[in-house]
Amino acid sequence: MWQTSYKKAVTLSYDDGIMQDIKLVELLNKYHLKATFNINTGLNHLDHDFFIQDHHISHIPLDQMVDLYQGHEIAVHTYSHPHLTLLSDHEVSIELHLDIDMIEQIFHKKPVGMAYPYGSYDDRIVKLVRQAGLFYARTVESNHQTALQDDLLRFQPTCHHNDLNIFDIIDQFLAYDGNEPQILYIWGHSYEGDVDDNWDHIERVFKKISGHNDVFYGTNEDVLIFKK
Ligand SMILES: [Zn+2]
């Protein structure tokens, strides 16, 4: 586990498995960063494309994902991206298990975590996620903190890549020299680079967090789940 050699770790989390991930993965790989991609395996047809402002958002075909996401982690984002809190227990379990099984089939590895679609969850959903065999689940509640968290099924990211304070947060994280292990966890959607026209900002963030000898770079699984 990373804490035996490092005090600090960086991980990233990107949702929805969309075409802009191609550009995002290029940037991640350029800076030797590791991310987790939370995908909906039930939405990979053209009729699930959507628009944000004038931007056409398409999902990546399942058969292109293995090559694209090589070296990164694939996690669950449910089969069809519903508001889980509006579904029955049975429907929630189906949404989780269909996605878990498809991911295992495509990537030959059982996923261990997820991100809640729309960030929507409650105690009932958390229980069902635990029953589905997942060990961590990311919310959208940025806490601007880098301390370790006990409740991995209600995991709060440090900040979104568009956070106005992100460079201060990164500076503080990089300067940290205490004894408690710290995790800088950044999340977002790659289509935001197009919609917000800020790929240069995303690259600046990636550049700033990369290449530090005292920082471990890993996927969510590598960083959040401490293996002996
Ligand atoms: Zn999503």
Expressed in angstroms and rounded, the spacing between residue 178 Cα and the centre of ligand 1 is 35
Distance 176 CA to ligand 1 centre (A): 32
CB crowding 186-213: b at 16 or more within 10 Å, else e? bbbbbbbbbebeebebbeebbeebbeee
pLDDT of residue 227: 61
Cα-trace Rg, the chain: 17
Rounded to the nearest angstrom, the distance between the alpha carbon of 137 and the centre of ligand 1 is 13
Around ion ligand 1, which residues have CB less than 5 A away?
15-16, 117
Q: Which among 75, 65, 69 has a CA at the least distance from the CA of 111?
A: 75
Domain of residue 71: give its range: 2-224
- Residue 20: name the closest of 73, 68, 53, 62 by CA: 68
Split the chain (228 residues) into runs of 10 and give each run's mean pLDDT. Answer: 94 97 98 98 84 90 95 98 98 98 97 98 98 98 97 98 98 96 98 96 98 98 83
The number of distinct structural domains making up the chain is 1
* CATH for 207: 3.20.20.370
49 CA to centre of ligand 1 in angstroms: 13
